[in-house]
Amino acid sequence: MDKRYTGDGKNTLKRILDLSWRISVYAPPMKPFIRFSKHADTLYKGKTNSYKHFFWDFDDALQRVLLGMARTIATPSEIAEACIERWKINLEKFYQRRKRQLEELRKNGEVPQFRYTPRNEFIFSRVEPGSRLLYVGCGTGTECLGLAQRGYEVIGIDTDEQLIEIANEWAEYLKLPFQAVCMDADNIGFSPGSFDGFLLEFYGFQSSLVQALALQRGLASVLNDNGKGFISAPRKKYASLWYRMPNLGYPESMFHWLTSQCRLDHYFSQMDACEEKLAFGLYIRSHTVDSLSRELGGVFDVQECMYEKYDPRYLISVVKRKGRFSDSSPTSENDDTEDWTKQEYLQREGVSIEDVLYEIHAICDLLELQKERVERFFLNGDVSGGKSPLSMVDTDLPRFIELLEHTYGMRPFRS
């Protein structure tokens, strides 16, 4: 922990995660303006790659700075604990929606039929119906119920008690072979070899290598000799998630406009890499096929590892338990398997963490205002008249660029 920092680390960490969430939600409508509006003409001419990268993917850059500050004031376990609480906040609206849906089904006496994604079909083709599956991070149980309806016996675990409660209410109403249990994935408490398979959809959200390895070993221990595990991890190329706008409630026409921009992410940097940042108030470590295979290979026999075609934000790996695996941490000459928590925010002389947070807070305020302006543009139907959103005259882009330039000057030498 940085000896120069004298503030309340726990509350500051919450602020950092809140700012991360705001950037993730409100940055998309600003990105096309910072890239292509007339005010941005001089941002990329004759500048260093570092400078161009910072502005082109300013949300990505700001999230890295926030992660560095989080590491400076908190331990990996404290970051992990704070992210769990942030995850509960993020899912509150989803919980309320699932609760209302169940009430409506009960009222009308209806039984829904679940839709299956290509990822589901990928799993179905590799694990026989009737198998006992562990779903790690089950939330309100939507995916688990779909698996159970397909003929699998499913146990789901999550740390959020209210999500567990509503998941079990759904299972009871639908009379499906699914049970949700409140349990931490870092301390899985099932008998060895008790599952034919598992599905983990949040690999890469562990804030240290120690935590990631503990999760791997726990999952390996509950897998039987012939069982298969399915591990999904985020991919850098689409790691910002911002082209999936329906989840954020944007108008459909605005969603389509922003979707067309997603291919431009990371234009000035490596498109795919094993890298870290915050997003939506959560720690995220993106992977490549090689980095994920290496990271899983110390504990599991990796049978398949690929980028998903259906949802290119993610990779999926199919693993089996090794006969034996080492109790020690893996060592490697490459950066992918180092204990990545060694990287910290290198504070500039005369610039405090509070100074940087103040600037990022001001940036978030402008992002939120810009989101509302762009949303009104599309709701008013201006785009149907042939107007481009980039023609908006009330965008406070000069002020936003000024704030970004100030933050760029305050950023650490390595973030």
Indicate if the alpha-carbon torsion angle 221, 223, 226, 228 is positive or negative. negative
pLDDT per residue, tens digit, the chain (415 aa), is 344 455 678 899 999 999 999 999 999 999 999 999 888 888 898 889 889 999 999 999 999 999 999 998 999 999 999 999 999 998 888 899 999 999 999 999 999 989 998 999 999 999 999 999 999 999 999 999 999 999 999 999 999 999 999 999 999 999 999 999 999 988 899 999 999 999 999 999 999 999 999 999 999 999 999 999 999 999 988 755 555 655 677 888 888 888 888 888 889 888 899 999 999 999 999 999 999 999 999 999 999 999 998 888 899 999 999 975 544 444 433 344 445 555 555 666 778 899 999 999 999 999 999 999 999 999 987 666 678 888 887 788 999 999 999 999 887 655 4
- Looking at residue 166, its pLDDT comes to 96
Give the per-residue pLDDT at 334: 37
The pLDDT value recorded for residue 346 is 61
| Rounded Cα distance, 223 and 212, in Å | 17
pTM: predicted TM-score of the whole model, two decimal places: 0.89
Q: Are 135 and 157 in contact (CB under 8 A)?
A: yes
Task: Starting at the earlier edge strand, list the strands of the sheet with 314-321.
Answer: 178-182, 153-158, 132-136, 195-200, 223-234, 314-321, 300-307
Query: Does residue 312 contact residue 193 with C-beta atoms inside 8 Å?
Result: no
Strand partners, 279: 282
Q: Could you tell me which residues come within 8 angstroms of residue 316 by beta carbon, excluding any fewer than 6 positions away?
A: 119, 122, 230, 231, 232, 304, 305, 306, 308
Residue 239: what pLDDT?
Answer: 57
**Residue type for position 28:** P
Task: Name the β-bridge partners of 156.
Answer: 135, 180
What is the model's pLDDT at position 156?
Answer: 97
Q: Hey, where are the domains in the chain?
A: 9-74+352-410, 82-235+272-322
* Euclidean distance between CA atoms 387 and 378, whole angstroms: 10
CA nearest to 383, candidates 187, 285, 251: 251
Distance in angstroms (rounded) separating the CA atoms of residues 240 and 343: 21
Residue 182: phi and psi, rounded to 5, are -80, 110
Superfamily of domain 82-235+272-322: Vaccinia Virus protein VP39 (3.40.50.150)
**Cβ-contact 117, 310 below 8 angstroms:** yes
Stretch (H or E) spanning 180: strand 178-182
Q: What token pair was written down for 413?
A: 């030498």
Distance of alpha carbon 71 from alpha carbon 68, whole angstroms: 5
Residue 228 contacts by C-beta under 8 Å, 6 or more apart in sequence?
A: 126, 127, 196, 197, 303, 318, 319, 320
Predicted confidence at residue 240, as pLDDT, reads: 53
Q: Which helix (H) or strand (E) holds 229?
A: strand 223-234
Output the six-digit token pair for 82.
């704070």
Read off φ and ψ for residue 101, nearest 5 degrees: -60, -40
Token pair of 71, please? 């590491």
Compute CA 410 distance to the chain's CA centroid, rounded to the nearest angstrom: 26
Integer Cα distance of 85 and 159 in angstroms: 10
Pairing of strands 314-321, 300-307: antiparallel
